[in-house]
Structure 1
């Protein structure tokens, strides 16, 4: 259980730090594809790799990447949860839901499918800091995937569009 609590807190820190690096406006007139770390996904062609941003390096380390432009960013982290039992994995997902709702005030909850598995998407309806935060997470192949999208606009459509192309490779 202690491992779940530590993981939950780590993931909150990731979300908070990513939220501090965000923008508005995306351009899907062209798109790029990221392929690495066992996944691939499409993102707007005007975005660049933000993974070397010092704040994001401190947040994600070697466990994630981030792409974006100005104050708009999408990032993800992958955590091996294969050592957890099925019950602990369910508890982890439920703990993440409650933690994100409490700590980040992500009160809009939606069930979605990502890469053929059920995922949870949580978003902020009215940001107090001017930044909308959206988080989606799921478990597939013994890995927990946590994705974060932040923007000065709601941007849930951009986030879902990226997630619709997210695939494990």
Structure 2
């Protein structure tokens, strides 16, 4: 399921995700899944699959790629499978993880770090009420060796989080 979704979406993922430098083998995807299960069992922030509620098909993945328990602060990450974009899955996943970070995990800060050229992801952040705190210029080198800018969006008050299902598009 995971390998198929990543391979189906590889061109889009390759444009934005530093981890998508090469097409994963089935063994790579199995190792990823084993590590995700281990990290979840250990109580750390492992990745989670995004599944369609109607048919259980994998539509993407989400998780907390960066956690700082001293604050506590959480970065939310997500990607949608090609063919599943524009249906609200990313917004719903980012909303759910943000809500859980504040309500269950005691977050004082939740952030989204987005490649400055990734306009659909920027739209997700703004739709959910995240505020642009700044642009980190040339802060990350992508897998092509190109320096990229990162837009940092954050929420520090859960009251500012906008529920995307209130005006959701039909899937």
Which TM-score band (shorter chain)?
under 0.3
Report the TM-score, using the length of structure 1 for normalisation: 0.27
Larger radius of gyration: 2
Which structure shows the higher strand fraction?
1
